[in-house]
Amino acid sequence: MTAKSIFIGLMQMAIVLTGVAAIVALAWFPLLEGRAANLNLPAIYLDPFILYGYAASATFFTGLYQVFRLLGYLRRDEWPSRKSRRALRIIRYCAILSAFLVGAAGLYIKVAHHPDDDPAGFLALCMIYVAVSVGAAFAAAGAERKRRGPVGQRS
């Protein structure tokens, strides 16, 4: 086993742990929210905004899965392939869509929050997430461009 293979395996393990941590956070966070104090379990998890968050997280998990697959292609030295280019394109689209969906949630909270609530923390998290997602989209686009080679060359 080469050092490259071990390193990529560790990165894949980190991707899996990130996904598990995100699932735990998605399941646990609604219980910690202030509105959940007087609600029963179905009312907490069937809140429209929570359901929107679960639906929007599908883009995050799809992108995470594609990163895992891309690392597998790198481990098997299949980097210059159509599969890797497709994975990079899906990662880019997932990052862009995820940034848009989280930004829309932030705008909704900014406009529709209760006057007694302070949405600053949520909005800050939204801005950080959008910045990271846009950065991931640019990184995937750059890797896609680099993988393609010069403008005239197509594989």
Query: For residue range 59-103, what is the model confidence (pLDDT) as tens digits?
Result: 999 999 999 999 999 999 887 788 999 999 999 999 999 999 999
Question: What is the predicted pLDDT for the residue at 26?
Answer: 93
CB 23 within 8 A of CB 90: no
Question: Could you tell me if 97 and 59 are in contact, meaning their C-beta atoms sit under 8 angstroms apart?
Answer: yes
Report, as an integer, the average pLDDT of 129-155. 82
Q: Which pLDDT value is given to residue 140?
A: 94
Average pLDDT, the chain: 89
Q: Does 155 score more than 90 pLDDT?
A: no
Kindly list the distances between the CA atom of residue 87 and the CA atoms of 8, 61, 115, in Å, as whole numbers in the listed order.
Answer: 16, 13, 44
pLDDT digits (tens, 9 = 90+) for 6-27: 999 999 999 999 999 999 999 9
pLDDT on residue 151:
53
The full length of the chain comes to 155
48 compared with 59, residue with greater pLDDT: 59
pLDDT of residue 11: 95
Distance CA(39)–CA(155), nearest Å, equals 56
pLDDT for the residue 117: 80
Specify the 3-state DSSP secondary structure of 99.
Answer: helix
The secondary structure of residue 81, as a DSSP letter, is S
Query: Rounded to whole angstroms, how far apart are CA atoms 74 and 70?
Result: 6
Integer Cα distance of 33 and 55 in angstroms: 19
